[in-house]
Amino acid sequence: MSDDWELKICCMGAGYVGGPTMAVIAKRCPKIRVCVVDISQKQIDAWKTDDLPIYEPGLLEVVQECRGRNLFFSTDIATEIEAADIIFISVNTPTKTQGIGAGRAANIKNCELCARTIADVATTGKIVVEKSTVPVRTAQAIARVLQSNEKGLKFQVLSNPEFLAEGTAIADLMNPDRVLIGGQQSEEGLAAAAKLVSVYAHWVPREQIITTNLWSSELSKLVANAFLAQRVSSINSISALCEATGADVLEISRAVGMDDRIGKRFLQPSIGFGGSCFQKDILNLVYLCETYGLNECAAYWNQVILMNDFQKKRFSEKIVASMFNTVTGKKIAMLGYAFKKDTGDVRETPSMFVLRDLVHEQANVHVYDPQVKREDMWIEMDYTCGMNKDNTPRLEESVVTAPDAYAACEKAHALLILTEWDEFKTYDYKKIYDSMMKPAFVFDGRNLLDHDALRAIGFEVHALGKPDPLKFSDL
C-alpha cells in the first residue's frame, strides 16, 4: 500500500449510501485512498464488476474511473480499519420489528457492531463518522463503545448525514445544497471536524459546508426528511379534496409553489411517498418526541404517515370502485414498481401496497418495471407489509413480471402508472389500447401521461386530483 496518500478513508457498508458517496469522494479527491468494506462478500464482489449492486444514473462511470486507482472494495474489514484515518459508518439502520419501540424506533444495532469492530481492531485513534441516519444522541452511544477499548486509544465521533436522493445521487453528491458536519465542541472535536471539512472542500464551496454540534447535525437529517415528506402528504391530502370538488391539484400546486416562500419542489401529488428514508425517519422522530414526553409533537408528525397510508389505500379503492366494484380474475397491468423513477429500489414503495390490495381482491397483476428484479419484490413485501408465500398462497401465481409494458397490457382491463419512469411517456398507447379489454381503464398514480390524448383514443382515465370529466360536465 503506497503511503503517499493525502488521507485514507474506510467506509463500512457498501449500500445505496456508502457506495455512491465513496465513489464521488474518490473521484473528487484523487489523492485520498477510499476503501468500501462490507460484511457481505456478494455485495463486495458485485462492486468489482460492471454489474453494480445498485442502479444509479452516472454511478458506473464514476466507479469505472476510480476503481483500482483510489477506490477499492473489500471484505477485509480489519485491515482497512487499521489503515484508515477516517472511518465512515454507513450501514443500514432499519426500523425495529420487535421489542421496545417496535415498528417505529430505528435499530442501531449495526452501528454499534461497527463501533465494536473498530474498537477491537484499531491500534491507533481514528475519526469515526456517522453517515447512517440515526436517532439523536447515537453519537454518544458510538463514542462510549469506542472509548471503552482497553488500549487507551482516543476516537473522535462526527455526524455527517447524507442528503442524497436516490435516482439523482451522483448529481446530489457532486453539487450538494449543503454538507453538514456535527462534532463535539472540544479542541479535538473541532480539529476532527476540520479534517472532514477539508475532504469535502476539494469540491464543495466552503460556505456550503456547515459545522454544528453533534445533536443538531443528527436531528437536522430527520427534520429535513420530515419536512419534505410533510409537503408530499399535504399536497396528497389536497389531491383528494380536488377529486371531490373539481379543482385541479396541478393548478393548485403551480399557484401555491410560485410563492417563493413556499417554493415549487415536493408538491407533486403521488400515490404516496416511499423509499427507505421518509417513513422510517418520521417514525423515528415520532418515537423520539414520545420518549421526551412530547405527545402532541408525536401526534403531529404521525399524522404525516397516516395521510400517506390513506393516499395509498384511496388509490386501490378507486381502482376497484371504478371497475364495477370487482377486479376478481381481471388482468391488471402495473407499470412501475420502484418507489420513484431512476432506481430499482423497492423499499417502502407505495406500489407494494397497491399490489397487496389487488391480490387480496384476487386480480391477476402483471408488473413491468425497467429496473426492479422480481426476487426483490417478495423480500420487501414480507418485510414491510407482512405478505408472503405462506400467508398468501396465491401470491406468486397472481403476480406475473412482464418483459415489457406491451406484454403487461395485452388483454388487461386496466393499466396503472405507479412510478414516473420517462419511458412510460413514449409508448404507443393506441397499440396498447387495441390490445386491451374494453372498457380500458387507466389509473395514473403520478399524473404522468397526456390524459386528453388517452381519452381521445378511448381510454377511461382516472388521474390524481384532476377533474374527472365523467363527474364534472361543467368543466
Annotated binding site: 13-18, 38, 91-95, 132-133, 166, 277-280, 347
Given the rule CB under 6 A, which residues bind ligand UDX?
A: 12-18, 38-40, 43, 90-93, 110, 113-114, 131-133, 162-166, 225, 228, 232, 266-268, 270, 273-278, 339-340
d(CA 202, CA 224): 25
Q: Which is nearer to ligand UDX, 169 or 323 (CB)?
A: 169
Q: Which is nearer to ligand UDX, 278 or 301 (CB)?
A: 278
Q: From the centroid of its chain, how far is CA 358? A: 24
Q: Which three cell numbers stand for residue 418?
A: 405507479
Give the catalytic positions in this structure: 277
Q: Which is nearer to ligand UDX, 90 or 401 (CB)?
A: 90
Q: Which is nearer to ligand UDX, 222 or 387 (CB)?
A: 222
d(CA 5, CA 7): 5
Cα-flanking dihedrals φ and ψ of residue 209, to 5°? -105, 110
| Binding-site sequence positions for NAD(+) | 13-18, 38, 91-95, 132-133, 166, 277-280, 347
Q: Which three cell numbers stand for residue 108?
A: 442501531
Q: What is the 3-state secondary structure (H, E, C) of the chain?
A: CCCCCCEEEEEECCCCCHHHHHHHHHHHCCCEEEEEECCCHHHHHHHCCCCCCCCCCCHHHHHHHHECCCEEEECCHHHHHHHCCEEEECCCCCECCCCCCCCCCECCHHHHHHHHHHHHHCCCCCEEEECCCCCCCHHHHHHHHHHCCCCCCCCEEEECCCCCCCCCHHHHHHCCCCEEEEECCCHHHHHHHHHHHHHHCCCCCHHHEEEEEHHHHHHHHHHHHHHHHHHHHHHHHHHHHHHHHCCCHHHHHHHHHCCCCCCCCCCCCCCCCCCCCHHHHHHHHHHHHHHCCCHHHHHHHHHHHHHHHHHHHHHHHHHHHHCCCCCCCCEEEEECCCCCCCCCCCCCCHHHHHHHHHHHCCCEEEEECCCCCHHHHHHHHHHHHCCCCCCCCCHHHHEEECCCHHHHHCCCCEEEECCCCHHHHHCCHHHHHHHCCCCCEEEECCCCCCHHHHHHHCCEEEECCCCCCCCCCCC
Helix pair angle (278-291, 295-322), 10° resolution: 150
Q: Which is nearer to ligand UDX, 36 or 359 (CB)?
A: 36
Q: Which is nearer to ligand UDX, 218 or 361 (CB)?
A: 218
Q: Which is nearer to ligand UDX, 372 or 432 (CB)?
A: 372
d(CA 141, CA 112): 8
Q: Which is nearer to ligand UDX, 22 or 289 (CB)?
A: 22
Work out how close the CB of 446 gets to ligand UDX at its nearest, in angstroms, rounded to a whole number. 8
Count other C-beta atoms under 10 Å from residue 289's C-beta.
18
- Given a contact cutoff of 8 angstroms between Cβ atoms, the answer to whether 257 and 234 are in contact is no
Q: What residue number has its CB nearest to ligand UDX?
A: 15
Q: Among residues 311, 185, 312, 342, which one has the least CA distance to residue 240?
A: 311
